[in-house]
Every structure is written in structure tokens, then in C-alpha cells.
Chain A
Amino acid sequence: MRPVVSPARETWRRFRRHRLAMIGLVILTLLVLGVVLGPLLWPVAINDIDFSATLSAPSWDHPFGADDLGQDLLARMIYGGRISLAVGFAAMLVSALLGVVVGSLAGMSRGMLDSFLMWVTDLFLSLPQLPLLLLFIYLFRDTLKAAFGLEGGVFVMIVTVIGGLRWMPVARLVRAQFLSLREKEFVEAARSQGATRMRQVVHHILPNALGPVIVAATMEVSFAIISESTLSFLGLGFPPDIPTWGRILFDANNYLDSAPHWALFPGAAIFLTVLSINFIGDGLRDAFDPRRVI
């Protein structure tokens, strides 16, 4: 007989079997540690202008090279990585929260509210996301800048807009889980003992619906990081003095022939982060899937 293990530990045991997901987890941990602890190990200012190092290739003084003003790219990448990763996680939280609320409302209510919420979900799914993201930023940038300051305003706006346009997959998943879970015996038992609707949802249904939500939320992080980089790459995301990875790529765009390293480092950073997160998501999907024997 196997000893009793908690669901979290069992998931972790299954997750460890996925080799690429474990590699992804190690790389992502290193990247997060790098951008968090980086300024301690590499205390160079991101806006130190040094014209003798203009467009210089990687060397001991500048491990990742320097840009057109001779600013150190490693320092800028560390600073930008913090923002890119923070945007990714914050936008994921927004979309997961919205998705869980909409999905549970639709899943618990039968009839009109359910059909209406699903109609809205389908409508949002057929919205062209990038054009809308661009439209929001175009229209609301100045107001938010005034309200939250330059950096904070853009951050709040990008996170809300990305999160607000990506809650639909989570909502659909949660609703589907609720439809089957709310008819299960254990929920009926809770109901017969007089549990309120709120208690049924929070204590009984939601914990059991969490697996697929976590998988979907992981994928949202990588989507949000790509979206933020895309916006900054198009010159409509963070302003030039906040070097997120996408913004560094945008600035490097015009110097591809003379300083290819300038574009390669941030591009590779985005690629590595997104790839690791996607592999982690794949590993979690396998780990949470009860039909799969691992």
C-alpha cells in the first residue's frame, strides 16, 4: 500500500518526471534570481553614458556590450528583465482572477446569466487583441501617466489591459469544471448539510477546479511577457528611459548591421523566459492530468 501523500506533493512528484519542464524551472529560477540579485553583483547604472564605448561588442568592461550612447547593456537588461517579468506575473494574476470570477458566476448560475456571460466571453475571444491593446494605450496613456507617474502609469495600464483581454480561456475552463463538479456527490453532501452557495464554491468546488486554472495561468505569463515586449517593440509600450527587453530590441532595430549583439541579448532573454514558462506549463499539464500515468 502506498502511503498517503498530499495532492501538492503528488503533483510535484509527477512534475519532476517531465525533464524539459524541470530544465525550464531551473532556467526560469536562474533568470528571476539574476534580475532580482543582478544589481548587487553588477552595480552599474543603466544610464551611464560613455561615448568611448559606443556600440562596443561584448568585453570584460561590458559583458553584453553597449548601446549607441555607450550605456551598459547588462545593467539595462537586468533592469528591464525586472519589469518584463513583473508585467508577466501581474497580468497573469489579473486575467486569472477575472477568469475565475466570470467562470464561477457562469458555472453556478443556470439560464440567462450563464448564456450572457458566455456570449460576452465569445465576443471577447473574437476581438483582435493586439490592435485593441494598441488602441487602449493610444487613448489612455496620458491620463494614467498623470495619475500614477510615468513608470507606474504605463505599468498599471499594460497590466490591466493585457489581463483584461486574456481572461476568456480561464473563464471557459472554470465554467466547464464547475458544470461537472457542482453535480458531484461531495458537493451535494455539502449542500445537504446546509452549506451556503459561497461556501460550496470557495471550499468545495474551486479547490478541485484549480489544476487546469494553474496550467492556463502559467501560459498567460508567457503570453503577457510577449505582449509587453511586442508593445515596447512597436514603440508604444514603455518609454525610452525604461529599458524593458522589448524596448531594448526596438532601440537596437536600427543598428542591426553594426551592433547585432544589442538585439541578440534581449531577444534571447525573451525567448528563454517564454520557452521555460511554456515547458513548465506543459509539465504542470501532465502532472495535473489524472488520466496520465506517470
Chain B
Amino acid sequence: MGSYLARRLMIAIPSLLGISFILFVVLALAPGDPFGDIASNPNVPPEVRLALRAKFGMDDPVLVRYAHWLVAMAHGDWGFSFASRIDVSTLILQRVPTTIYVIGSSQVLALLVALPIGIYAATRPYSVFDQIANTFAFMGFSLPTFFTGLLLILIFSIKLHWLPFVYQADLPGSGLEWVWGNIKQAIMPVTVLGLFQAASYTRYVRSAVLDVSRLDYVTTARAKGLAEKVVVLRHISRNALIPVVTMVALQMPAVFGGAIVTEQIFRVPGIGSLLISAMLANDTPVVMAVTFVFSCLVIFFNLIADLLYGWLDPRISFR
């Protein structure tokens, strides 16, 4: 397992470098000069402007600038937010836990919905249950998260007054009341994101279980006289989970996209809403850093998926 982990890390690092390079090149190609203000200011003599450009390495080749930027990022020097007047790294560290909390709970919810429904539907293919589940799954991933979010706000906050529609990170109160308040305000964002993911996961689970249940070893298990429940749960489901893990890992970029939207609708103070507000405020260092953090999170989750793989299918970690 140790050497397997090391091998996966060796694959993850080049992709991280590749992604950071793409991000950097996009930024370098972008029009708009950080010294634009200085250039248009008549009080700054041109030689001072040129000296400043040279000092910050603006005229160096892209690869040299990329190397400088990478070293600074690795040292934790992520720049300074123009809008909030604090270090970008501090700002992001404040926001990341909320995002992880919302995304994590929604993924748990998605799997809790998708696994039982998908497995049950696949054990009775083309039955009424299967067809209803399939239709609902289609509707689920055709409903954009921003629309379901607005619908939930309309129903549960405006009409019924059950749930608050503004998320507060520093909720007042203490004890049970505080816990309940936190759960209450997380219900809608987590449901929106979780059900959207559950819809596509249900289809993956169903087709993976269908594929596995045709294999010979399943027939063997049945022929041995094992109870149907044991066959489905111990023999079929565990192996069917392997392709599901791949699909869940491939979905991570989409999950973060959904997180940006839900954070924006419910005003959850995570890095998604930070990205949008930074863009509206032209706060480039924050925009770059948040995009980079999103990429890191995607790769991190891919790594976790690889480890789960090794656990679900021991053959993989020995190869």
C-alpha cells in the first residue's frame, strides 16, 4: 500500500504542475496590465515605470515568471487581497472549512440516496421501481442547481418560513440551540447539491451493479445457496463500487462548480462565493489563488479515489 500511495503521488504532482502552468499562462496571456494605473498616471515618469516592471520581472520570459510564481506559492506567499486588505492565504484558510463542510455533507447525502436506490433498481431491471427511479434521475440532473436553490428558498423560506435562506458562519447562541441552528441553515444548500449529484450517481450505481451481476462468480455464489441479500451486498455491490468510485472522482470538478452556485445563492461564506465576489471586485490575486485551490482540491479528491480503489480492489495496489 505504501509504494502504491507513492506511485499515485508521483502521478498527482505532474498534474498539479500542469494545471498551475495552464492557470499561469492564462493569466500571463490576459490583457490588462497590473501597472496600467501607473502608466496612465502622468506624475510617474516612464523610467520609474520601467524600473518597477524590471523589479517585478514583468519583462522576463513566461517560464521564468512561472518559476518565480511557483516558488512564492510553495512558500505560502499567495499575495495580498486588494479588496479585503489581508493576505490571500489567511482569507482562503478562513473560507475553506465551510466549503469542505458543505460539499462533504452533500456528497454523503448523495451517496446515501444513490447507493440504495441504484442497487435496488439494478436488482429489478425494467421494473416499475426502476423506471420511476430512472425518470427521477433524469429530472434530477436536468434541474440546474441555481433553479432548485431558488425553488427551495421560495417554498421553505418565503412561503413556509421554516428555514433561513442566508447562511451565517458565526451563528450566535450556544449548546443545542446553536447545533440545531447550524443544521437548519445547512439543510437547503446541502440538499440542493446532494440531490443533484445523487441523480447522476444513481445511474452510475445502477449500470455498474447490472454489469457485475452478469458475471460468473455471482452465479457461483447463488449456486452455493447463499442468501440473495448476501449475494447482492457482499458479492455484487462491493465490486460494483469500483467503477462508481471512478465516476465520483470524475464528477469532482462538477461538484465544485455546483458548490460555487449554491454558495452564491444561499450566501454561504465559502471559497466559491469568495471567487465570485473577488471577480466582481477585480481582485486578481484572490481570483488566481481560489482557482488554484479548487484545482488542488480536485486532485486531492482524485488521490483519495485512487486510495479507495486500492482498498476495494487489492489487485490494483499490487500491480
The residues of A with any CB-CB pair to B shorter than 8 Å are 20, 122-123, 125-132, 134-136, 138-140, 142-143, 222, 226, 229-230, 233-236, 246, 249, 252-253, 256-257, 260, 263, 267, 270-271, 274-275, 278-279, 282
Contacts and interface: CB of A to CB of B under 8 A. Distances in A.
B294 interface: yes
Nearest to B280: A235
A263 B5 CA distance: 48
A282 B276 CA distance: 34
Contacts of B291: 128, 131-132, 135
A271 B151 CA distance: 12
Contacts of A135: 23, 26, 287, 291
Interface in B10-48: 15, 18-19, 22-23, 26-27, 30-32
B158 interface: yes
Contact of A127 (B144, B261, B295): B295
Contacts of A226: 144
B146 A274 contact: no
A131 B294 contact: yes
B138 A127 contact: no
B144 A128 contact: no
B287 A138 contact: yes
A134 B26 CA distance: 12
Given A128-B253, A279-B138, A236 B279 contact: yes
B253 A270 contact: no
Interface of B: 15, 18-19, 22-23, 26-27, 30-32, 135, 138-139, 141-144, 146-147, 150-151, 153-154, 158, 250, 252-254, 256-257, 260-261, 264-265, 275-276, 279-280, 287, 290-291, 294-295, 297-299, 302
A216 to B, nearest CB: 14
A271 to B, nearest CB: 5
Nearest to A263: B150
Which of A20, A130, A230 has the largest number of chain B CB atoms within 10 A? Answer: A130
Contact of A230 (B15, B32, B142, B257): B257
Contact of B276 (A127, A234, A257): A234
Contact of B254 (A129, A136, A235, A257): A129
A127 B19 contact: yes
22 contacts: A126-B15, A127-B253, A128-B253, A128-B294, A128-B295, A135-B23, A135-B287, A139-B30, A140-B30, A222-B142, A229-B144, A230-B146, A233-B146, A235-B280, A249-B147, A253-B265, A256-B158, A260-B154, A270-B144, A274-B144, A275-B138, A279-B138
Contacts of B22: 123, 127
Contacts of B154: 256, 260, 263
A12 B185 CA distance: 49
A162 to B, nearest CB: 12
B15 A122 contact: yes
Contacts of B146: 229-230, 233, 246, 249
Which of B19, B146, B261, B302 has the largest number of chain A CB atoms within 10 A? Answer: B146
A142 B147 contact: no
Contacts of A129: 253-254, 257
A234 B147 contact: no
A127 B257 CA distance: 11
A140 B31 contact: yes
A257 B158 contact: yes
Nearest to B150: A263
Which of A128, A222, A236 has the largest number of chain B CB atoms within 10 A? Answer: A128
Which of A125, A139, A267 has the largest number of chain B CB atoms within 10 A? Answer: A139
B264 A234 contact: yes
A267 B144 CA distance: 8
A263 B144 CA distance: 13
B219 to A, nearest CB: 20
A241 B93 CA distance: 37
Contact of A282 (B15, B138, B265): B138
A31 to B, nearest CB: 14
Contacts of A235: 276, 280
Q: Can you list the 10 inter-chain pairs with the closest CB atoms, starting with the nearest?
A: A130-B257, A139-B30, A275-B142, A267-B147, A128-B294, A274-B142, A233-B146, A131-B294, A143-B31, A131-B291
Contacts of A233: 146, 261
Contacts of B27: 139
A256 B165 CA distance: 12
Contacts of A282: 138
B206 to A, nearest CB: 13
Nearest to B295: A128
B135 A131 contact: no
Given A226-B144, A230-B146, A267-B144, 16 more contacts: A20-B135, A126-B253, A126-B298, A128-B256, A128-B257, A129-B253, A138-B287, A139-B26, A229-B144, A230-B257, A246-B146, A256-B153, A260-B154, A270-B147, A275-B138, A282-B138
A281 B265 CA distance: 30
Contacts of A229: 144, 146
A282 B200 CA distance: 13
Which of B19, B27, B135 has the largest number of chain A CB atoms within 10 A? Answer: B19
Given A122-B15, A126-B298, A275-B139, A249 B26 contact: no
Which of A125, A126, A267, A279 has the largest number of chain B CB atoms within 10 A? Answer: A126
Contacts of B23: 135
